[in-house]
Amino acid sequence: MNQPQTIESDTDETINHDLLSLSNRLVENVGLVVLGKADVVRLAVVAFIAEGHILMEDVPGVGKTLLARALAASVDCTFKRIQFTPDLLPSDVIGSSIFHNPSGEFVFKPGPLFSNVILADEINRTTPRTQSALLEAMSDRQVSVEGKTYPLDPPFIVLATQNPFEFEGTYVLPESQLDRFMIRLHMGYPIRSEERRLLASHRDGAPVESLSPVLSIDDILRLQRGVRQVRVDDAIADYLLDIVHLTRRSEDLHVGVSTRGALTLYRAAQGLALVSGRDYVIPDDIKDLAVPVLAHRVLGKSFLQAGQFGAAEAIIRDTVDRVRVPG
């Protein structure tokens, strides 16, 4: 692999040290309240600075909403929480036009989607029609209403939580919706020692309420620009494509990884490299991200309508193991 190149910033200092410090600050601040989940917090930050959206799936009460709130509270930006329910309408999310008596015209009133960080809480409890209202915003960072397009101010990230599909009152997210999420995370139950620390930390109230921002919007935008400058060697890109194309030929899958999925894995690997203090991607970045980035994008023959991802994760792991790692 070629020698890594030094990335120069707009100032005289190199970008790596400065941006690594910013990303570490974000990881550490979120970790103050999300205890015992260092790997999950790190991947969430990777998605944030790589301009991706995050889907967190697990049983209720294990910290999905806490992680989203902590990430939003760590950045000095606008934040809105949308509680998804069966009766939620698309206009409740994106906004609607209201008749303005003095002018005699309809005026667009933006919905909660017009914020930097959106917590879509229990997204799979609402109908597919309302879920689809997020598609344009998540892919193009804009919203179209009655023939007019309204851009969303950067940074824009959707942090969605969902309960397992077996839970009552849930809908399976459509494939087009899943494909918009950069990464899918599991919280899981904390180990006993961390849960004891968690109990103690809540003695005087919820710690997330006292969390202060450690980064500005400009800091996040700098991180996002820095991610795009991380070097990806041709051999690494070919390694990524070997994994993607092998999923499309898999006898266990109806649908393999899309081109959007390949691009998303590429960008996420750049983000992981930056958070790891490197200005170049290595094979381990691709291997570490393959399951959380790709497993929710494929359809297996045995779980086509089941809404389960365990089998998909196993197939992705097997696929990665079968692809030769570049030297």
Radius of gyration, CA atoms only, the chain: 20
Q: Residue 165 and residue 171: Cα distance in Å, rounded?
A: 7
Q: Is the peptide bond before 155 cis (omega within 30 degrees of 0)?
A: yes
User: Does 206 share its domain with 267?
Assistant: no
Q: Residue 163 and residue 167: Cα distance in Å, rounded?
A: 7
Mean of pLDDT values over 8-33: 75
Backbone angles phi, psi at 8, to 5 degrees: -95, 140
Q: Is residue 6 situated within a structural domain?
A: no
Name the residue with tokens 């960008």: 267
Mean of pLDDT values over 183-202: 80
Mean of pLDDT values over 162-180: 75
What is the number of structural domains in the chain?
2
User: Does 49 share its domain with 123?
Assistant: yes
User: Does 170 share its domain with 315?
Assistant: no
Q: Is residue 181 situated within a structural domain?
A: yes
Look up the domain containing 35 and give its range: 15-86+116-229
Q: Is residue 325 situated within a structural domain?
A: yes
**Does the pLDDT value for residue 303 go beyond 60?**
no
Q: Are 160 and 54 in contact (CB under 8 A)?
A: yes
Name the residue with tokens 């994994």: 243
pLDDT band with cut points at 50, 70 and 90 for residue 169: low
**Does the pLDDT value for residue 13 go beyond 60?**
no
User: Does 169 share its domain with 291?
Assistant: no
Q: Residue 8 and residue 286: Cα distance in Å, rounded?
A: 24
Inter-CA distances, 74 with 17, 22, 41, 109, 133, Å: 20, 11, 12, 28, 27
**Does the pLDDT value for residue 160 go beyond 60?**
yes
User: Does 24 share its domain with 173?
Assistant: yes
Mean of pLDDT values over 232-254: 94
User: Does 249 share its domain with 156?
Assistant: no
Mean of pLDDT values over 154-170: 78
User: Does 279 share its domain with 318?
Assistant: yes
Going by C-beta distance under 8 Å and a sequence separation of 6 or more, which residues neighbour residue 180? 53, 134, 135, 138, 139
Q: Is residue 221 situated within a structural domain?
A: yes
pLDDT band with cut points at 50, 70 and 90 for residue 61: low
- DSSP sequence for 145-158: ETTEEEEPPSS-EE
- Of 213, 229, 245, which residue constitutes the final position of a domain? 229
User: Does 190 share its domain with 221?
Assistant: yes
**Does the pLDDT value for residue 45 go beyond 50?**
yes
Mean of pLDDT values over 49-63: 85
pLDDT band with cut points at 50, 70 and 90 for residue 290: very high
